[in-house]
Amino acid sequence: METSAPAEAPAAPPLRDRHTIPDRFKWNLAHIFPDVDAWKRAYDELDTKISAYAALQGTLAQGDGARLLAAYKISDEIGQLSYKVWYYVALKYDEDQRDNEMNARRQQVQILFAKFAQASAWFSPELLNIPLPRVQEWMAQNHELAVYRFAIEDLYRQQEHVLDEKGEHLLSLASRFSSAPYDAYAALSTADVKHPIVRLSNGTEVTLTYGQYRAILATNRHQPDRAAVFAEYHKLFEASVNTYASLYNGILQRDWFHAQSRGYRTTLDAALHGNNIPTTVVENLIETTKAGTEPLRRYHRLRKRILGLGTYHAYDTTLPLMDVTEKYPYDDVLEWLPASVAPLGPDYQRQLREALNSGWIDVYENPGKRSGAYSAPVYGVHPYMLLNHNDTLDAVFTLAHEAGHSMHTLLSHAHQPFVYSDYTIFIAEVPSTLSEALFLEYMLEQARSERERIVLLQHAIDGIVGTFYTQVMFADYELQAHRLVEGGQPVTSERLSEIYFTLFKTYHGDAIDYDDQSRVTWARIPHFYSTPYYVYQYATCFASSAQLMKQLTGASGPEKAAAIDRYLTLLKSGGSDHPMTLLQRAGVDLARPEPVRAVVEQLDALVTRLEQEINSQSSSLKAQGSTLKSQK
């Protein structure tokens, strides 16, 4: 254990130019198209198919369903080709967001998608003019059309929010502007950002990218270094906070415009109605979580005591309680992950190994590369994963998370027709968080020492804090921000900062010493700009995966086999039914408060177990605490 001042337990890999990174650590986009010329041909083909689709207008009622089937089939063809045309340039752009040429191609595709939105605006109003019993009769007579039964009947369910042809056409024209606020945010926060260089107390100079920022907070034992990095990184957002507020206001106004246009009472109603989710799911999630914040506060109080800190700030919340000298190299993780999913069966393991070793993953950070991580579901090819792996434990679990998404994509695409191949975001985070849970259990079993168990227990707790409590707080923030525009109130940087800071204090109470710069944290959360009303689903999915994990690991014999089958069936089901229904079939009912309360109880139990483990190591930790105090 390294405790000399300042301790930098394992440092992030140095930032490298992309051309110096070996190909085996970069995704291979030739699996989509061999070159840009092939992409251009596919783009032109997509344009042609869009025109062919538009030519079907006015014919749906003809031919006892034959023309309706033709429309659905060509729509599927357009959709499948769209995945390839979009992701080829989108993934290429994310390799280096300073690439203006690739950004221009992205915009070309967005313009083409807007054209398709206009060319298809007639479809829903025209179909809804045909009585549902007549369409159901067609489906009874035509098994190919019957494939689309759920999609068709769900459209009729939403009929009251579908406009007439002129209204749908008008909204389609507006769709080309929908991504403008997020695109501007991405340019401001990533492509155009000038990363500051920070000199740490040991004389090391660090280019403060987002990946480096997170790595320092998670590894540097010297509190003044963490404080300096926190201050410098947030200055990037303070300097442009009014611009960020204007961009976010654009998001809020856009969402309220679409909600009002379609006759929804609120933006939350509009966001949830498509998946047939009651708004009480979100409202109860927020209220039940707020009532269960004491385990969260207890954890932070324990951290402050063990770390020996006189004051405890937001930049102290991710530091390990104990130093670990080992790194977590990417190649090692490639062996551990398949082993961790053994409870799901050998076929699942085989497919995961293929995903990890076949050029599907872009592993390391490079200048201009998009921050964070994601799994991109390229239909007809395979999922791709973007990482910014930095050899920390957090990076290891990030890969487990994205691998869960990718396995969901593989199974859904393999077992569903295209129309249902895309699962909803309400379910999307269930397999990703369950993948992390399985990986945690594997790592705890393989732990070589009590110290490593403490590190892993902390990671499990931090997972609940980050994936559940923080996301509920973010959802609370989004809901309050959207209610500003719904109530006709002004949206300013001061108001947005005040909402965030108040919530931060509400959830953490007296467990944290607050820094004024935390007020602008909202400005740097990408989900607020890219996918409003997404983050609450991290929390509901975490609750779902916790319940599923209990079923998968707590049973034996036929009961366990049935639980595994239900879970894999969920992954294979894609979007073939409403998400609440699919989860209920898998054994989870989010209409009840028990899943949320179970997470609160789980955190409380983990904090208790961590405290017990730490008490058993009290003598060594006291010695470490004395050393740390002498460093400050």
Question: pLDDT tens-digit profile of 335-392?
Answer: 999 999 999 999 999 999 999 999 999 999 999 999 899 999 999 999 999 999 998 8
Kindly report the pTM of this predicted structure. Answer: 0.78
Residue 199 pLDDT greater than 80, yes or no: yes
First to last CA, the chain: 19
The answer, yes or no, to whether residue 12 has pLDDT greater than 80, is: no
Evaluate if residue 589 carries a pLDDT over 80: yes
- Residues written for the chain: 632
Compute the average pLDDT of residues 616-625.
Answer: 59
Q: Give the Å distances, CA to CA, from 498 to 246, 504, 563, 615.
A: 16, 10, 45, 39
Alpha carbons within 13 A on the beta-carbon side of 181: 23
pLDDT tens for each residue of 545-555:
988 988 888 77
What integer is the mean pLDDT of 326-337? 90
Percent of the chain with pLDDT over 70: 95
User: Exposed, middle or buried: residue 539 (CB in 10 Å: 0-12, 13-18, 19+)?
Assistant: buried
- Is a pLDDT exceeding 50 seen at residue 395? yes
User: Once rounded to an integer, what is the mean pLDDT over residues 602-607?
Assistant: 91
The phi, psi pair for 136, rounded to 5°, reads -65, -35
The pLDDT of residue 629: 55
The helix (run of H) or strand (run of E) holding residue 377 is: strand 374-378
Contact 571, 586 (CB under 8 A): no
pLDDT at 627: 53
CA angle 287, 249, 253 (to 5 degrees): 85
Percentage of residues of the chain with pLDDT beyond 90: 73
| pLDDT on residue 5 | 29
Rounded to an integer, the average pLDDT of 196-208 is 93
Above 90 in pLDDT, residue 592? no
Q: In the predicted model, is pLDDT for residue 270 greater than 90?
A: yes
* Residue tagged 């909402």 (tokens): 499
> Which pLDDT tens digit goes with each residue over 500-514?
999 999 999 999 999
C-alpha pair distances (Å), 606 with each of 176, 226, 297, 554, 620: 47, 26, 13, 17, 21
Average pLDDT over residues 403-426: 96
Ranges 397-406, 463-472, 551-560, 574-583: which has the least confidence:
551-560
Sign of CA dihedral 12, 17, 20, 26: positive
Average pLDDT over residues 531-542: 91
Place of tokens 């006759």: 263
How wide is the angle at C-alpha 511 spanned by C-alphas 508 and 515, nearest 5°? 80
Question: 207 has which bridge partners?
Answer: 197
- pLDDT computed for residue 556 by the predictor: 81
Share the mean pLDDT of the chain.
91
- How far is residue 386's CA from residue 362's CA, in Å, rounded to a whole number? 5
> pLDDT digits over 78-125, tens only?
999 999 999 999 999 999 999 999 999 999 999 999 999 989 989 999
Beta strand 205-207 pairing with 197-199: antiparallel
**pLDDT tens digit sequence for 158-171:** 888 888 888 988 88
Give residue 619's pLDDT.
52
Which residues have C-beta within 8 Å of that of residue 45, sequence separation ≥ 6? 81
The residues, ordered by sequence, that sit 6+ positions from 197 with a Cβ below 8 Å of its Cβ are 205, 206, 207, 208
Q: What is the pLDDT of residue 358?
A: 95
The total of other beta-carbon atoms located within 10 Å of residue 572's CB is 16
- Give the per-residue pLDDT at 511: 97
Distance CA 628, CA 222 (A): 8
Residue 626: the pLDDT is 54
d(CA 582, CA 578): 6
Please check the confidence at residue 325 and state whether its pLDDT lies above 80. no
pLDDT at 29 over 50: yes
Give me the pLDDT at residue 177, please.
85
- What confidence category does residue 593 fall into, taking pLDDT thresholds of 50, 70 and 90? confident
Whether the CB-CB separation of 341 and 404 falls below 8 Å is answered with no
Q: How far apart are CA 504 and CA 202, in angstroms?
A: 32
Q: Are 167 and 160 in contact (CB under 8 A)?
A: no
| CA gap 429, 401 in Å, rounded | 9
What band does 2 get if pLDDT is binned at 50, 70 and 90? very low
Q: Which of 476, 507, 465 is nearest to 604 (CA)?
A: 465
Please state the rounded mean pLDDT for residues 527-544: 91
Measuring CA to CA, which residue among 160, 117, 139 is closest to residue 274? 160
pLDDT-derived band of residue 261, with 50, 70 and 90 as boundaries?
very high
Please give the Cα distance from 394 to 215 (Å, whole number).
9
Q: Is 451's pLDDT higher than 90?
A: no
Measured CA to CA, the distance from residue 10 to residue 300 in angstroms comes to 23
pLDDT beyond 90 at 394 = no
| pLDDT at residue 294 is higher than 60 | yes
What was the pLDDT predicted at 7? Answer: 32
Task: Identify the three-state secondary structure at position 361.
Answer: strand
**What integer pLDDT is reported at residue 13 of this predicted model?**
65
Q: Does domain 32-177 have CATH number 1.20.140.70?
A: yes
Q: From its phi and psi, is residue 557 left (phi > 0), alpha (psi between -120 and 50) or beta?
A: left
